[in-house]
Amino acid sequence: MRYACMRRHAGTFTVVLMCRVLAVSRAGYYAWRSRRPSARAQTDTQLRVAIRTIHAASRQRYGSPRVQRALRHQQWHCSRKRVARLMRLDGLRGKRRRRYRCTTQADGTSPAPNRLGRRFQVAAPNRGWGSDGTACWTAQGWLYLAVVLDLASRRVIGWATGATPGQELTLPALRQALTHRTPPAGLLHHSDRGMHYTGSSYQRLLATHGGIAGMSRRGNCWANAVVESFFATLKTELVADAQWQSHSDATDALRQYIAWYNGQRLHSTLGYLSPARFERQLTAA
């Protein structure tokens, strides 16, 4: 450590002065400088390059747990502590999630019971979907986002944005999901009981495709925790640092994020696989 400190300050202080202050010999210092780096030090150098590449590809979103898993996918075998140490050396850190506050509000009378009952581990795609909406601030005003997630893979299979949060927002998201998927009769669709989900147009479209509605009880955001978790991740990794000038800018950024989230982001609940890769494994089994 003392020799390394001397090398870092070689342009500031003389070797003689640093040896005197640190109580080391000049011969020892020059012998240390002439040695080749250890095998571990050489590996650390290579790892730091790989870590910086992964961190940049995640748009500075990944912390050490996901970076370590991404390294494992690239056949690097190293501990999370080692990854964290090397990230600190390069000043790299992931984006931290803020403390979550439940903000679900009741609206109207629920036409359906809570059939999901927090059973979020679904065995196969297209058996259970979760839907919800959130808001993102732009210089043009609030932009509302509605999503439909497949509960088996946590994949976003339908989404839409708009200036208002009613059925004109949630219906396009559901239509997109139904366009991309062909769910069997009996699909469980879980949401809150806001009017944008209890409305007749939404419920009619869902029933036409054999879907069964299930809804959270009043004020219980935890009953839709999968979608709420997605929104928390979205706001931590994208929205928190965004300064969008228009709804169009925000929609473009959301489109890019959702594509990255589905195809590349490592999801801890899925064994650090992306939703798309996890879904392929489910359908291949």
Take residue 180 and report the two structure tokens written for it.
Answer: 């991309």
**128-284: which CATH number, 3.30.420.10, 3.90.1300.10, 1.10.1240.10, 1.20.1050.140?**
3.30.420.10
Q: What pTM was computed for the model?
A: 0.77
Per-residue model confidence as pLDDT tens digits over 222-271:
567 889 999 999 999 999 889 999 999 999 999 999 999 999 999 999 99
**pLDDT tens digits for 69-118?**
999 999 999 999 999 999 998 899 888 766 545 444 444 445 776 677 66
- DSSP H helices, the chain, are 2-8, 15-22, 26-34, 39-57, 64-73, 80-89, 167-180, 195-198, 200-208, 225-237, 247-263, 275-284
CA distance 161 to 277: 26
Please write the tens of the pLDDT for every residue from 26-62.
888 888 788 877 888 888 889 999 999 999 999 888 9
